[in-house]
Each structure stands twice: as structure tokens, then as C-alpha cells.
A and B are shown apart, each in its own frame.
Chain A
Amino acid sequence: MDKASIYQKINEILVEEFEVDEEIISPEASLKESLDLDSLDYVDLVVIIESNFGVKLVEADFDEVVTFQDFYNVVEQKMTIRS
């Protein structure tokens, strides 16, 4: 799966899971604020990433995540490590 496909797939599942318009998602936008994530939502985020990409995110993975691009990078890195 190439980068563009990964990003597109992540966007699709975020739109579905968090019931937001795809237009609010951009690489520079804040993940937390755009999706209105609270502490309970992060566990859902971990579940949907694991079920769709087969990688398990841990708390430390979110240390540097601010934007959607940061999040894409984390998922992509995890997928690279796995393969």
C-alpha cells in the first residue's frame, strides 16, 4: 500500500468513525481538535487502526502527534516496521 492509499484509507475510516466531513481533514490540521477527540475516543482510534491496518498503536506513539500528517506518519512507520 503506497502512502497516498494509506492516507486516503485513514481519512475514510476517520470520517466514518467520528462522523465528520472529509473537508475538515487536511495534513496540517489538528487531529485532536478537528475530530473533537476526548480521552475516551483515543481507544476507538487505536481499535480502528489495528483492525484496518494490523498495527497496534501505543500511548508513546501519540507523544509527537499534533496534525493529521503526524498521525499518518506514525501509522506508516508502524506498518513499515511490521513488514
Chain B
Amino acid sequence: MISLPISGEKLLSLIPQRPPIVMVSSLESYDDKELVSTFVVREGNIFVNGAMLAESGLLEHMAQSIALHTGYSYFLKGEDAPMGYIGSMQNVEIQDLPVIGETVFSTITILQEFMGVTLVEIETKLEDRIIARARIKTVIAK
């Protein structure tokens, strides 16, 4: 059993993404309906424009947080992390973006899983301030 928090190589074993497109830094907490992840914005990240993370980078972080939930749940079952796809993004609100050196915390909540589609609500915070929200549907590749 891996103890939380998880980062580094152990984290990579839980998601299908690989550098330079890894947009989660740690898994802080997990249960079957919720997960908290972090992402530290580093210089040189491909989603950084100037000193600020681009919106697309924040959305990618949100999507990868969902992949992390799926990956960790498969790990707990003793199976490899599956490939998944974003089915849709709804109700996306981005109020602020982190800059290099800042860490965002994202909480994902599984609202529903049905016919291979998972509906997730995700909230991203920067220093206790909500900077982004979205509802995302993901589909696991068969």
C-alpha cells in the first residue's frame, strides 16, 4: 500500500500522462468519491505563459486530477491505470491563474458514474481562495 501523500515516480505510476505533460504534483487525499491533488507551477512548464499558468494548463491539471482518482482506484484494485478521455467540460469558471512557484489544490468530487462515463465536479483553490470550478465528464477507453 502506498501511503499518502503521493508524489514523484509513484504518482506517475498512477496516471497515463508523462512529462512534459504532467500537471499534478501530488495526491493529498483519496476516497472513492473524492480526491485532493496539488500542482506546483514550475518555470519551463509547457503551459506557462510569461510567469502565469495558462487557462489550458489549469484545465489540464483539473482533468489529470480526475485521471489520478481513476488511477489510484485501479491501483487499489491491483490494476494498471487506464487511458481516459475528456467527454465534456461544463460550467467552467476561471477567476484567477497561479504564477510560477505557486501551488494550487484541487478537490474533485465524483457526482455520478454511469455506462463508463464519470461526471465530476472540481474546485481549484489557491491559498484557500477558489480560483476555478468545472464539471467534467470523462470516459475510460475500452
Contacts and interface: CB of A to CB of B under 8 A. Distances in A.
B27 interface: no
A71 B69 CA distance: 32
A45 to B, nearest CB: 8
B88 A40 contact: yes
B111 A40 contact: no
B54 interface: no
A59 B119 contact: no
B112 interface: yes
B103 to A, nearest CB: 31
Contacts of A57: 114
Contacts of B115: 39, 42-43, 59
A67 B117 CA distance: 23
Contacts of B119: 43-44, 47
A46 interface: yes
The size class of the interface chain B forms with chain A is: 10 to 19
A8 to B, nearest CB: 24
Contacts of A39: 87, 115-117, 139
Interface in A38-60: 39-40, 42-44, 46-47, 50, 57-59
B110 to A, nearest CB: 11
25 contacts: A39-B87, A39-B115, A39-B116, A39-B117, A40-B117, A40-B137, A42-B114, A42-B115, A42-B117, A43-B112, A43-B113, A43-B117, A43-B119, A43-B137, A44-B119, A46-B112, A46-B114, A47-B111, A47-B112, A47-B119, A50-B112, A57-B114, A58-B114, A59-B114, A59-B115
Given A39-B139, A42-B117, A43-B115, 11 more contacts: A39-B115, A39-B117, A40-B87, A40-B139, A43-B113, A43-B114, A43-B117, A47-B111, A50-B112, A57-B114, A58-B114
Interface of A: 39-40, 42-44, 46-47, 50, 57-59
